[in-house]
Amino acid sequence: MLYEKIDDSKVRCHLCSHRCRINPARRGICGVRENREGVLYSLVYGMIVAENVDPIEKKPLFHFWPGSKSFSIATAGCNFRCSFCQNHDISQMPRETGNIAGRETSPADIVERAVRTGSKTIAYTYTEPTVFFEFAYDIARLACERGLKNVFVTNGFMTEETLEVIAPYLDAANVDLKSFRNDFYKKRCGARLTPVLTSLRKMKSLGIWVEVTTLLIPSLNDSEEELRQIAEFIYSIGAETPWHISRFHPQYKMNTLPPTSLEAIHRAARIGKACGLKYVYSGNVPGDEGEDTVCAHCGELLIDRYGFYIEKIRLQDSNCPQCGATLDGIF
């Protein structure tokens, strides 16, 4: 899907914002889409490399069916090359080894297993769902027929065309906004900032519930100026958009920096709230009060969390029991 044939058996992929021009017998930047004699093929359709039942909070999505199960899947591959990737063994496998692992399965099998586990959603996660788009698209359509919702956990680098195709079947997304500097995206991820911002605006305009995550990396994206820029952008697409500020731990090729301090997480949260965001959360800090959802109007505790798990939900038909204000989200 979403490619065009050009001269001399070359093709151009329009799935993500790299818009790779791919020569015959070559693959795109993602490592999982290959030009075979002028026809672009997905090499990961049905090739599941990860499959789990997770709490929806693990995505993280805090305002979309909190406390529910999410049937979570991935194939190998990614269109980014983040030096701090926590799932690099599967996301970078095709690029680094040329191999594509996975267990073959069908969209119908995935949906059936999701139903059987009592999951409310299917999450396309762990690696970038854009690169296994055709598989995700076929699953999502079947899932809708069975009353399940669909969730992308994504870097947001897909094209607007891709979002328009999936939008009728995509209910929610958590988008990584990794930095507000293009040089960070170029050096650390092999990508660009602007398409991510465009995707966030597009998702909101299409009615997809959006939450944003920023992994706070010491000395790289944690300046007060940059955090304010991120928070102001999120505010511009909707003050109701939850912002998850996640704690960095040394990973992959970025293993010399220290973990993010709790003070840095709390400072970022204060900046987000000062910019007018209604819901700002601390991530990777189990037991921190920044995991809880409080009423943006009166401050009443509405959802008590510990890590990825719900301790207590205090809502009356999505409303605060203290002041009656509606909690933004899908419940």
Q: For residue range 39-70, what is the model confidence (pLDDT) as tens digits?
A: 999 999 999 999 999 999 999 999 999 999 99
pTM (2 d.p.): 0.97
Q: In the predicted model, what is the mean pLDDT of residues 188-201?
A: 98
Query: Facing residues of 3 across strands?
Result: 13
Residues 26, 281: Cα–Cα separation, whole Å: 42
pLDDT of residue 24: 97
Predicted confidence (pLDDT) per residue in 141-192, tens digit: 999 999 999 999 999 999 999 999 999 999 999 999 999 999 999 999 999 9
Q: Cis (ω within 30 of 0) for the bond into 60?
A: yes
Q: Identify the pLDDT of residue 284.
A: 87
